[in-house]
């Protein structure tokens, strides 16, 4: 099942740390997102329904944990973009981003090191 943008904000909180109570999730996301309690509750419910999150009963509340790993999510999103826009080829993606001119020297250095490592 597909995870929406708003839902992914909740997932990020759970990937950072889990399990979490809904209260803890809210305290993490309500600030930056300016959401009310109700909004976050619904996002959590939808994620549970989508089986991206499990709810373990803990007394009267639930403890939520991700079922979908960040790794898998990120992999899917990245590969999807790559396939959709660059015919699955990595070099054109990197080229585009480097032309956007937002790469720091550090980015380039890291990338260089990484490519060395992959290449061998």
Partner DNA sequence: CGAGATCGATGACAACTGTCAACCATAGAT
Partner DNA sequence: ATCTATGGTTGACAGTTGTCATCGATCTCG
Q: Which partner in DNA, its own copies, none is near 101 (CB below 5 to 8 A by kind)?
A: none
Q: Which of 17, 23, 58, 110 forms a contact with its own copies (CB under 8 A)?
A: 110
Residue 60: what are its φ and ψ, rounded to 5°? Answer: -85, -10
How many Cβ atoms sit within 10 Å of the Cβ of residue 100? 8
CB of 96 to DNA, least distance (A): 22
**Which one of its own copies, DNA, none is in contact with 90 (Cβ closer than 5 to 8 A by kind)?**
its own copies
Residue 91 interacts with its own copies (CB under 8 A)?
yes
Binding to its own copies, residues 57-86 (CB under 8 A): 71, 74-75, 77-79, 81-82, 84-86
Residue 54 β-bridge partners: 65
**Phi and psi, residue 25, nearest 5°:** -60, -45
Residue 107, sorted as left (phi over 0), alpha (psi -120 to 50) or beta, turns out to be alpha
Q: Residue 44 in 3-state DSSP?
A: helix
Q: Applying CB under 7 A, which residues contact DNA?
A: 2, 4-7, 21-23, 33-36, 38-39, 41-46, 48, 55, 59-62
């Amino acid at each position: 099942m597909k995870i929406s943008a708003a839902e992914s904000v909740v997932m990020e909180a759970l990937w950072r740390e889990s399990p979490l109570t809904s209260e803890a999730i809210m305290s993490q996301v309500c600030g930056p997102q300016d959401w009310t309690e109700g909004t976050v509750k619904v996002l959590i419910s939808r994620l549970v329904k989508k089986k991206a999150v499990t709810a373990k009963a803990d007394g009267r509340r639930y403890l939520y944990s991700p079922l979908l790993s960040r790794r898998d999510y990120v992999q899917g999103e990245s590969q999807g973009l790559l396939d959709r826009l660059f015919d699955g080829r990595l070099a054109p993606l990197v080229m585009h981003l480097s032309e956007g001119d937002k790469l720091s020297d550090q980015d380039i250095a890291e990338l260089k090191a990484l490519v060395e490592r992959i290449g061998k």
